Amino acid sequence: MEDGETGENWVDQCTIDGGNVVHDDFSAAMENLSIHGLLIAEQIKLMPESAKTGTMYVDAMGTQWPMRPAEKAILDDTKVTGYSLGGDDDDEGVVIILQRKMATGKVLNITTPFTKLASDEPEYQYTSELAEALAVVEREAVAYLEGKKAPNPQLEMFGDGTGIE
């Protein structure tokens, strides 16, 4: 496809390789997708809220997730490596890509099934929380592109970061 042409299979995609380390806010936003990915991929199950035993995991957005210690251990050993939004309008959805470090030290790559974000009868119980978590990731990604990055500890040695005293 040449510049200026359009077609049915056109995809907006942005990939940037840079030397800047992402801000902790972006990392936390991506981490919030872990629980959704594990639930959608049926790698963990939440406990009923009425259960008196277990662990209450609170994510960076303040959402409480009741789970057994074994599920919490799986969550702790999992990281989101990416996600892909697809579909349009009422059919918009997401695929989440995760890596889970197993007890053997090997890595299990997990790709969730496509999960719709807007539906009268959602196929995923926590669709609104997932949509909110994705919005936070998107805001943090835009902030990164606009210059929000982790502080450079080497520059902090020089006071204001300019290296001039």
pLDDT in tens, 114-149: 999 987 777 899 999 999 999 999 998 888 878 777
| Domain total in the chain | 1
Compute the distance between CA of residue 163 and CA of residue 165 in angstroms, rounded to an integer.
7
For the beta carbon of residue 94, count every other beta carbon within 10 angstroms. 24
Residue 51 has pLDDT above 80, yes or no: no
- Are 124 and 115 within 8 A, CB to CB? yes
Q: What is the mean pLDDT of residues 52-60?
A: 73
Q: Transcribe 36-101 into DSSP letters.
A: HHHHHTTS--PPPTT-SSSEEEE-TT--EEEE-HHHHHHHHTEEEEEEEEES-GGG-EEEEEEEEE
Compute the distance between CA of residue 145 and CA of residue 12 in angstroms, rounded to an integer.
16
Residue 111 has pLDDT above 90, yes or no: yes
**Structure token digits, residue 2:** 């040449």
CA nearest neighbour of 34 among 133, 102, 149: 133
- Are 76 and 44 within 8 A, CB to CB? no
Tell me the residue range of the domain where 35 lies: 24-144
- Inside any domain, residue 134: yes
Residue found by looking up tokens 């989101």 in the block: 80
- Inside any domain, residue 140: yes
Q: Which pLDDT score is estimated for 67?
A: 87
- Inside any domain, residue 8: no
- Inside any domain, residue 152: no
Which of the pair, 16 or 111, is modelled with greater confidence? 111
Residue 104 has pLDDT above 90, yes or no: yes
- Inside any domain, residue 66: yes
Q: Which pLDDT score is estimated for 2?
A: 45
Q: Is 110 helix (H, G, I), strand (E, B) or coil?
A: strand
- Inside any domain, residue 29: yes
